Each structure stands twice: as structure tokens, then as C-alpha cells.
Amino acid sequence: MKAGLLADPGRLAVDERPDPTPGPGDVIVSLAACGICGSDLEKVKGNYRATQVIGHEPVGTVAAIGAGVTGLAVGTRVFAHHHVPCYACPACHSGAYTYCPSYTKTNLDPGGFSERFRVPAVNVSRGAVLPLAPMVSWDEGVLLEPAGCALTALRTIGLPPATSVMILGLGPVGILYARLARALGAGWIGGADPSAPRRTVAGRRGADATVDPHNVEKVRQLVQLATGGRGVDLAVVATSAGSAVPLAVSLVRRGGTVNLFGLPEAGSHLEEDLQQLYLRGVKIIPTYATTERDISEVHALLAAKRLEVHDLVTHRFPLEKLPEAFQLAAQPDKALKVIVTGPAFSG
């Protein structure tokens, strides 16, 4: 079978690999589609330390089932989540499931950009293989994981009714964050991104107003006008650009929250006046990844048509053109969400 792999930092390869076979409790999935995430792009650049496996937004059909697996059948349309927590350690007991020490040690084999991949028994046993509702398309299924990351963030932070939100970075996950916040009852939502096409898409169903962050003063004016000079309740850093963090801090009200949501560049640092953070009561909360529980809730929102995401997919490439797909995904003015298709894809 063909498998898209990270050969070295900066180099992708589509290699031939043996077809995976299921051990006890495992599930083999035939790939329909897998989205290219910003963290995949960072792995290619060598800017991601947690894991070097690429492809973690895959949907497909169950191709084979190992002994002991229940509730799934060959041919079932599914989403497969790559990481699962143990639910037994101190981090899990506190509700910080994605910071479980074993979380990133679980993964798809050999990764989501493969014609067929193995979902290990530990993932299967914890509900990480989610059957897709008939009304949830492949394109929508691909966006379950990034939307789940936004839901995990909002649950961690809390989203009281009518919360004002400013999102810095309107890539696919930033737009998903805006749309999910809207669906969950946020009040005013603003967004900032250098890409005019991305600002346009963000304004369709999520953001009330958008602005180019190159003009920092306009960003501040937008927030001040929308909040009566108070600042937003929540500023979300949905980009790896380190310069966005001090801007986010300056945009929140007294007692407000900054969510470090996007993957920061390795080695980047935050320089802030700690006394000012102290006196203003600004909370800086990082959130990372998601769980199968939150993905399941996003799936319910999609099935009920409370969340619309299908328009975010702008390009599709067959697996053998994985390098070209990554090249396009790295150009924000030319593409929004790029997905890679496999043998189970149709429609």
C-alpha cells in the first residue's frame, strides 16, 4: 500500500509499505480523506517536538477488525482519533486529558496519510473510532479533530453567555473556533489574519468583523469599538506567530483570558511586564489538542446542522500527490483546508 510519511524534516515521501493487519482489539481503516493540519506543516519544517507521525484528521471505512472488537463492522464509515489519554493519571483525574503522559504515545500506524492504517487497541477501547452519521460528509468528518480542539479549548476556558472573543489567526482551525464559539452562544466575535480570502470566509458564519493584523492600531480600534473600550473577554492566539501573544494580552479586558491555542514556534519566548499582568488579572491559558469525547460532541453538532464546516475545504489531492498538497496548504492566500484522498473516497 501507499503511505505518506515524514522522511526527514523538510522532506515528505509516499512509500510502499506492507498492508497492516489487525491484532487483538485493533481496527484497520481504509482511507477516504485526511486533512493537512497546521501542526503537520510545522513537522515538515522541524518545528514540532511531540511526534513525527503525520496525518491525524482521517476518515474512512473499516476494512478489518481484530478479535474482541465490538460495535464496529467492516464497511462502517468512521473517524479515527490518533491520541487517547489513560484516564487514570493525576493529569486525567484533574480533567487535563490532553496533558496525560501517555497521550502522545498513542498513534495511528503508520499515520493518517496511508491507504490503510491501523488504529491500535488502546485507541479503539477508549472510543477513538467514531462511526459517522449518514448526514456527515467526508469533508465534514475531516474537520472533526480541529473542531474538537476548539471545543476542548472553550471547555477549558469556559464560555459564559455573550462572551466577547477576538481570534488572532483565521486559518481553518481559527475559523472553526469562531463558528463553534458562535454556536455555543458567544456574543461578539472578531478576527484578524493577513490573508484577505481567509478573512472573507471567517466573516460568513463566525466573525462579526475582521481586520488585517499588520495594522495593529486597527486591531485595537476594532476591539475598543466593539467592547466600549473595555477589551474582549477572550483573546485567542490561533497562530504560531509569537508577536500575536503580546497583542492578545493588550486586547483583553481586566480579568480577561488569553488562550494560547496555536502551536508556538519552538524556542519562542514571551516578554511581558509581569506586574501589569498581575494588576490587570490577565489569565494566560494554553490548550492543546482534543479528546474523543469532545470530538463526539462536535460530531453531534454537525449531524444536527448546528455547526457548518463543509465550505472550509478548498482543495483535494490524491495520496500520491501528497508533497504538492503540502506545498499548497502552506500558502494561506491560495488555500484554506487542503485534504488528501484515499481509496475509500467518493463524492
Residues in the chain: 347
| CA dist., res. 259 & res. 238, Å (int) | 8
What CA–CA distance (Å, rounded) separates 247 from 269? Answer: 14
pLDDT top residue among 347 and 271: 271
The DSSP result for 231-280, as a single string, is: -EEEEEE-SS-TTHHHHHHHHEEEEEEEEE-S-PPTT------HHHHHHH
Residue 128 has which C-alpha cell? 477513538
Walk me through the domains of the chain, giving residue ranges and CATH numbers. 2-143+309-341 (3.90.180.10), 148-286 (3.40.50.720)
3-state secondary structure of 310: helix
Q: Is the pLDDT of residue 56 over 90?
A: yes
String of b and e for 82-97 (b: at least 16 CB within 10 Å)?
bbbbbeebebbeeebb
Tell me if 210 sits within 8 A of 193, measured CB to CB.
Answer: yes
Neighbours of 25 (CB within 10 A): 17
In the chain, what percentage of residues exceed pLDDT 90?
Answer: 90
Say what the pTM is: 0.96
pLDDT tens for each residue of 290-340: 999 999 999 999 999 999 999 999 999 999 999 999 999 999 999 999 999
**Inter-CA distances, 309 with 6, 31, 114, 177, 187, Å:** 28, 20, 24, 11, 20
pLDDT at residue 205, as a whole number: 87
* CA 250 – CA 245 distance, rounded (Å): 9
Task: Quick: pLDDT tens for 227-250.
Answer: 999 999 999 999 998 899 999 999
pLDDT band at 347 (very low <50, low <70, confident <90, very high): low
User: Strands of 252-260's sheet, edge to edge?
Assistant: 209-211, 189-192, 165-168, 232-237, 252-260, 283-286
Q: How far apart are CA 163 and CA 82, in angstroms?
A: 32
Per-position b or e across 98-137, b if 16+ CB within 10 A of its CB: bbbebbbebbbbbbbbbbbbbbbbebbebebbbebeeebb
